[in-house]
Structure 1
Amino acid sequence: MRHALPLLLLTTLVGCAGNPPAEPVPPAKGGTGSAAAIPPTPGADRYSMARDTAPNHRPDTQHIREPEVRHEPRSRYGNHSPYMVFGQTYHVMASGEGYRADGIASWYGAKFHGHRTSSGEPYDMYQFSAAHRSLPLPSFARVTNLENGKSVVVRVNDRGPFHPDREIDLSWAAAHRLGIEQSGTGRVRVEVLTPSGPATVATTTPPRSSTAAAAPNAGMRAAVDSPPPPAELYLQVGAFSRPQTAQQLADRLVAQFSYPVAVRDSASDSALYRVWVGPFATEPLRENAHDQLYRSGYGEPLRVMP
């Protein structure tokens, strides 16, 4: 489930091993706890290990200090935008402030320990760090396991995971702290942190629960009533008269993509429940999501603004 690139792509993308590129494109890295279940990724011979694993020495991650959320200049490497991986174009956000999304987290460990991250820093699986496709490097985020409520602050200093169903790649230490090391992946919420205060709130689909299943309207209120974030670029994938139908579509989108998803009603037409994807920081990011949703069989999403 990893995403190290073939050697033939080195003219476009430089791997984590060795010196960082003279920027233009961030190198890809990879590795998850479940990587041993699939054949080695092409290009994996750049690393000393064929498959990724957890470390042999497993310290108590409860004693590892979380990174201090502070102002840091953008890293010299890994912030070029746009960049391309596996034929897919990605854009780096101008700012991660206000970013919040629910999705799947994976992790990477011993195979990549000591090798260069996209920012040029060495990867340390014993620190709380992470990889993200579009957040500026470095960024800070709180990652919360939606199954058990455990959370950890991570410093985002790498690019990945380059899978449409993944939101973030965690270091081994962060995955262990959250309790998803053994399963390899887990449902998480990612909230960007800034030195001036806690993560700002944007709209995402709330986690499913027995209460939400019994009372769909109550389960959606957190998304419907949240104030709109500063960005105003969205895609509307569907509009339904039944809230249960809208929630089912939202759940499918959250499971399949890494985009934030929300169910919204309308002040002028409360009988309709609209499924919105976003917000997107730039128009190119929205267009990229539009094309991906269309190719995945969700019809022609509408470009909307609050």
Structure 2
Amino acid sequence: MAIFQKSIIILCMALLSACAGTSNTKSESTSAKNTAAKQPNGSSKGGGYYLDDGPGDNTSIDIASIPDAQPRTEKPLVSSNKPYQALGQKYVPMTNYAPYTKQGVASWYGKRYHGRKTSSGEVYDMYSMSAAHTTLPIPSYVRVVNPANGRAVVVRVNDRGPFKHDRLIDLSYAAAYKLGLVAQGSGLVEVTAIDTSPEALKNAANINVAKIEPSYASTAQIGEYSNSLNTSNTPTAESASNKEVSPASYYVQAGAFKSEANGEVLQKKILTLDLAGNAAVTNVYNNGLHRVRLGPFSSKREADIHANKVRSQLNISAIVTNQ
């Protein structure tokens, strides 16, 4: 009887062990399938949906209306621009602006890194217009153009990467979305560094977004127009004389939303923090968007001061426009 009971116990233990082994194998197999399913076209070469990365769960954000990064003079961070090594490769970052234009493959990163610290020490926001580069100064600004569709954006480099030899730049989810790269995961782009020295910004030698009224152009279009501005677009003396000259008024666009309620929330924040001074804060509806706007200001300098206040206190990319 004792021998029979021992045999029953041994048999039960063997069955339990077999079940446990089957469960683990199935779990690993399912995990592998799920990982492959998140990669575009079932390949890890596409970027984008790598591992548990991908678009965020917040579908209420109107990504297309997120303004480009507004170039401004910033001091390079010593700690973020030291020589370093990653994946066996040595990198020597630039510590100051230098002319830089290069074509290569852009990838993007999203919710997997959202909320984590970047190489600059700032928190990564997948809905900001930012990017990672292996050697460009941190922080710095670049214009990124997708030659396949002509779209262009301006982003702020505040992180390091990508470290794959076939990648040139890692874009935030918002930047990749506006360039039309999200679905395919990666794509060929041209990256051009922007000179943000006080002299360059004053003369608008390499970027001029203020001439485009946002009521008539999206932020992506602003980047495209700024690339095409040339002397042929300058009105002749004869045509200028036929137009009534009026003093310029400058505004600060703090955000653009499809939802009026979202615009009102931002409007109230700006008013509560007294970021507009004596200027008005309006939630203007135009071309299908509710634009939160501060102004008018009598000079661009005054508008820039208030734009910087909005950026620093609300951590959003406010842009200066005129009409």
TM-score, normalisation: structure 1: 0.48
The structure with the largest helix share of the pair is 2
Instruction: Please report the TM-score for the alignment, with normalisation by the length of structure 2.
Output: 0.46
Bigger radius of gyration, 1 or 2?
2
